[in-house]
Homo-oligomer: A and B are copies of this chain.
């Protein structure tokens, strides 16, 4: 049986659907349903029921990365789980790969990339704002992913130091860094660019056509959730209508035209 260890991150899930995500250590956590004595959770099985000091019950769950992302401290728009999974697939990021994450922000996508490359891979993360670098570093450390990510405080117009298998580019003016990305990619390497407006997509398409990229694709995703009620199955009333357009391309060494 898999039980809670000191230092684990744990998701406490109350019956009303509210949840708390914390590290198991000495100390107490005040919730709307009473106080949780954190150290008392050590040794409990994951998935089992515990109680606050007022006898309110909660489940102790292992947080998924999506739980961490939804609950993370953020100062920027994040990439949504609905898009993260598809981007990882299209970038073909997996165990042992090297990736550049340009425009780290709060670190959500960086964490997803770091998980995907595993302990043998490496993520080189670039961020030009000190406070975001610090926040991302904190988040990655908290999630145990800091050792496979190197965050650099840098304006990417200067270019990247590495040659990598894949690049994720999430900055307000991605069209200005296509050359730098092209140069940093290995042959056959994959790039993913996200941007919220159609105008940005147009600029990227214009610029990317000047470099030797193939397989250029532009996508958007709509995820719709249903009320999980067997005898009245129907979607919820409202949904996310838009997060970002996703642009994908693959580097080749020279052009058909050369």
Cα(A167)–Cα(B257), bound, Å: 47
CB distance from A43 to the nearest CB of B (A): 13
From A87, A229, A251, residue with most partner B Cβ within 10 Å: A229
A135 within 8 A of B: no
The answer to whether A95 and B81 touch across the interface, beta carbons within 8 angstroms, is no
As a 0/1 sequence over residues 199 to 238 of chain A, the CB contacts with chain B under 8 angstroms (1 = contact) are: 1011101100100001111111111111111111111111
Interface string of A231-258 (1 = CB under 8 A from B): 1111111111110010100111110101
A217–B231 Cα distance when bound, in Å, is 15
Query: Complex formed: what's the CA distance from A224 to B245 in Å?
Result: 10
State whether the Cβ of A48 lies closer than 8 Å to any Cβ in chain B: yes
Set of chain B residues within 8 Å of A47, measured between Cβ atoms: 186-189, 250-253
- Which residues of the other chain, B, contact A60 by a CB distance below 8 angstroms? 188
Interface on A for B, CB 8 Å cutoff? 1-2, 13, 15, 45-49, 57, 59-62, 64-66, 81-82, 84-90, 92, 94-95, 112, 115-116, 118-119, 186-190, 196-199, 201-203, 205-206, 209, 214-242, 245, 247, 250-254, 256, 258
26 CB < 8 A contacts A-B = A1-B186, A45-B253, A46-B187, A47-B252, A49-B256, A62-B188, A81-B86, A84-B85, A85-B87, A86-B86, A94-B115, A95-B118, A118-B118, A199-B231, A199-B233, A202-B233, A205-B228, A205-B230, A206-B230, A217-B228, A219-B225, A220-B226, A221-B222, A237-B241, A237-B242, A238-B240
